[in-house]
Amino acid sequence: MTGESARASGGGRDHYSYAHYADKDVAEGFHDLRFGGPIGRYILEREAAWMAEAIQPAPGLRILDVATGSGRAAIGFAAAGATVIGLDFSREMLRAGRERVAAAHVNVALGVADAHRLPIATQSVDAAVCLRLLMHVIDWRGCVSELCRVTRSRVVVDFPALGSAAALESAARHVAHRLGRGREPYRVFAERDMVAAFASHGFRLARTRRLFVLPIALHKAVGLLGLTRAVESALSAVGLSRLFGSPVMMVFER
């Protein structure tokens, strides 16, 4: 076990990735903060479409949603008839997730688990999804190892890209966090590092998607969906999305 994994499984519970999302107010407000308003709903719709394309949920398919949070991915998979397990370390996030699952009238098996040590048998699920987690965890490579271990064929992850505006926000948040101010920090990734991490476990990159060139916070501040679509379409048309788009969603297959 690496030093980072050891801290994650034992003494790392004071790390912000545990403490922040264990807060009741954070958990209750997470979904609306991320997916409220016209831009938030647009993000949710695009993510759902990409998830459906990547996973192709259907009856008989067994899917694991790691860091399920409010259950947004799990609910969509369950609605398509798949057997879905949703895991999260935060009991408060799971409480919010259970409410949304119940409101959607679908079946999702929700439980508490640490992404560094998943309580799932090796290759016992057909596919795994892990959204907005690797950017926060103590040992992201250890989490990738676990995702690959439990999955037979396909893993989907997303992350903020190193070559994007998210890198500047990430740097600012780390400084603020050290000073005891600001929101939770996060890491950004070079795509080659993510590809290499999965390749070390026998998974190859199957496809890549990128969301926005301009910061999501900027789009939300403006709050004009039509403008967001027009601007991002124009930037994508000239190739900037491929270079600077973030977050990045990657699909890996064994």
The residue ranges of every structural domain in the chain are 3-159+183-211+247-253
pLDDT of residue 180: 79
Contact 115, 83 (CB under 8 A): no
**Average pLDDT for 1-13:** 46
Rounded distance between C-alpha atoms, residue 27 and residue 93, angstroms: 5
* pLDDT score of 11 more than 50: no
Tokens encoding 218: 């900027």
Residue with tokens 């271990």: 149
Contact residues for 253 (Cβ-Cβ < 8 A; gap 6+): 153, 154, 203, 204, 206
Task: State percent of the chain over pLDDT 70.
Answer: 94
Rounded distance between C-alpha atoms, residue 68 and residue 65, angstroms: 5
105 — pLDDT class (breaks 50, 70, 90): very high
Q: What residue type is 215 in one-letter code?
A: P
The pTM score is: 0.88
The model's pLDDT over 107-124, given as tens digits with 9 standing for 90+, comes to 999 999 999 999 999 999
pLDDT of residue 4: 46
In the Cβ-directed half-sphere of 8, how many Cα atoms lie within 13 Å? 21
pLDDT of residue 7: 44
Rounded distance between C-alpha atoms, residue 129 and residue 222, angstroms: 30
182 — pLDDT class (breaks 50, 70, 90): low
* pLDDT score of 16 more than 90: no
Long-range contacts of 219-224 (CB under 8 A, 24+ apart): 219/39, 220/37, 220/39, 220/40, 223/37, 223/38, 223/39, 224/38
**Cα separations in angstroms, 234 against 45, 192, 209, 237, 242:** 20, 26, 17, 5, 12
Contact 115, 137 (CB under 8 A): yes
24 — pLDDT class (breaks 50, 70, 90): confident
Average pLDDT of the chain to the nearest whole number: 90
**Average pLDDT for 184-206:** 95
The alpha-carbon radius of gyration of the chain (Å, integer) is 17
pLDDT, greater one: 229 or 19: 229
Least confident of 45-54, 56-65, 198-207: 45-54
CATH 3.10.450.50 fits 3-159+183-211+247-253, yes or no: no
Tokens encoding 98: 């259970």
pLDDT, greater one: 185 or 232: 232
169 — pLDDT class (breaks 50, 70, 90): confident
* pLDDT score of 15 more than 60: yes
* pLDDT score of 184 more than 80: no
